[in-house]
Structure 1
Amino acid sequence: MFFQEMLLFCKNHLVLMLVWCFLLVIILYIFYMNWMYSGFKISCEKAVFLINKKGAVVVDMRNSEEYYSGYIVNSINISIKDIKENDFILGSRLKNNPLILVYNSSDRFLYSVKKDLNRLGFTQVYVLEGGISSWVDGGFPLLNLKK
């Protein structure tokens, strides 16, 4: 009886059911992406620990202009395009060191960049949660180089 009523409701309210299904898919996608990102995003404090104690290498993926306006000490500026095309040199000795990826505003490519770096043999890849703005907001130092 209940199943028949549900079927009748779905037939009579097809648009509503499609909207519900669409929203369900979006919600599941958001939860999935949060679950995927949660394992490799780290706080500024954890990044400082990895840099000071574990020899982490900071890879700044912002464009050159943004990078030179303020960057983390000893960071390396490598673009997402260079990582995708494997057109960069970090050295095989660094493959065992943690990598901390720094970005500016959009983190939509970070999971694919992490996968690319994993494929190249870098096993400990992390993303600075909140990007460079969280580093600045946390009161951590930046260096400036004017080109």
Structure 2
Amino acid sequence: MIQEVIQFTNRHAILSITWITLLLSVIILTFKNLLSKTKNITNIQAIQLINKSDAITIDIRPNDDFYKGHIINAINLTSLEIKKNNLKKIENYKQKFIIVVSANGLESSKPADKLVQYGFKHVFILKEGIKGWYNENLPLICNKK
């Protein structure tokens, strides 16, 4: 068995390296997720947190995108504002549940981690962002500037 694996590896070096790289990436991301103080949540979990625990939704998309459609009562706070610790809009919510929302859920990780660093206790990331929210036909509010 081991000889077969070695032969396969020798014959298909690029494929083997790619497979090992992907495996290591999955392992690293899994451990990073387990050790992270933030947690990805689904739309249903977000709705439950908003309705039952008065969670605060922070939309990190640019202002123009926010005004085109956002979750009810969301606060627009860009990633740059969070990075610069410009948190006047939310400084009183450190003990509340915070849900960070981006366009597709991929950009929320760093801002969410920053909020934890700044003392926010319960920070969550909306898994698929506003795109997933919209795709499930959940309500969005449109504002004029």
TM-score of the pair, normalised by structure 2: 0.80
* 2:44 is the alignment partner of 1:45: yes
2: CA distance, partners of 1:117 / 1:28: 28
Range 85-94 or range 42-51, more displaced? 85-94
1: CA distance, partners of 2:90 / 2:7: 62
1: CA distance, partners of 2:84 / 2:127: 25
Residues 65-123 of structure 1, C-alpha deviations (whole Å, 9 max, x = no match): 1100011111000111111121222444311111101111361x433222211111112
2: CA distance, partners of 1:34 / 1:104: 23
2: CA distance, partners of 1:93 / 1:106: 25
In the alignment, is the contact (CA less than 8 A) between 2:116 and 2:123 conserved in 1? yes
Report the CA distance shift for 1:77/1:92 in structure 2 as closer, same or farther (over 3 A): closer
Residues 18-66 of structure 1, C-alpha deviations (whole Å, 9 max, x = no match): 6523431223213432561897111111111111111110000111111
2: CA distance, partners of 1:70 / 1:91: 20
Partner of 1:13: 10
* 2:143 is the alignment partner of 1:145: yes
Partner of 1:134: 132
Gaps of 5+ in 2: none
Provide the identity percentage: 25
TM-score of the pair, normalised by structure 1: 0.79
1: CA distance, partners of 2:15 / 2:110: 30
User: Number of matched residues?
Assistant: 142
